[in-house]
A = this chain, B = another copy of it.
Amino acid sequence: MNKRDRHSLIRELVQEQIIEKQEDLVRILMEKGIEVTQATISRDIKELQLIKVPSKSGGYRYNLPPEMNYDTARKLERLLRDAFISIDTQKEFVLIKTQPGNAFALGAIIDSADYEEVFGTISGDDTVLIICKGEEEALYMQRRIIAFI
């Protein structure tokens, strides 16, 4: 079990069950035969940007980081519906073609959404180039963007 796999397992776990503290994750992973210490989990949580949310019922629960806020999502959705032409990936790059004059706005929204997977964007008049942190991330970003259309 490498770090990457552990991370995605942790993401699943916090969605599926109520993780009240880091030791819960240590215990659950232990039960699955994965030995890690609380220190590692603390670092994982930091990297995954998981948040500890006080719940109404009085306890606490670790959660995935907040998604893009509603307004931003609405803007992105509208813009894509209006101006999207095509999307493609190559290596760690995602290239989006838009109607002329719309790419800059699209790039700005993607920037403001502050995706973990994105290294940076460059926007021209009708093209946004998203530079992701890796190939896998590029594919993931492509999927996310397509989901908006």
Contact = CB atoms under 8 A, between A and B. Distances in A.
Interface of A: 45-47, 49-56, 63, 65-70, 73, 114, 116
Contacts of A114: 56
Q: Which of A51, A67, A68 has the most CB of B within 10 A?
A: A51
Contacts of A63: 66
23 contacts: A45-B54, A46-B54, A47-B54, A49-B54, A49-B55, A49-B56, A50-B54, A51-B51, A51-B52, A51-B66, A52-B52, A53-B65, A53-B66, A56-B114, A56-B116, A63-B66, A66-B66, A66-B67, A67-B69, A67-B70, A68-B70, A70-B70, A70-B73
A117 to B, nearest CB: 12
Nearest to A60: B46
Contacts of A46: 54
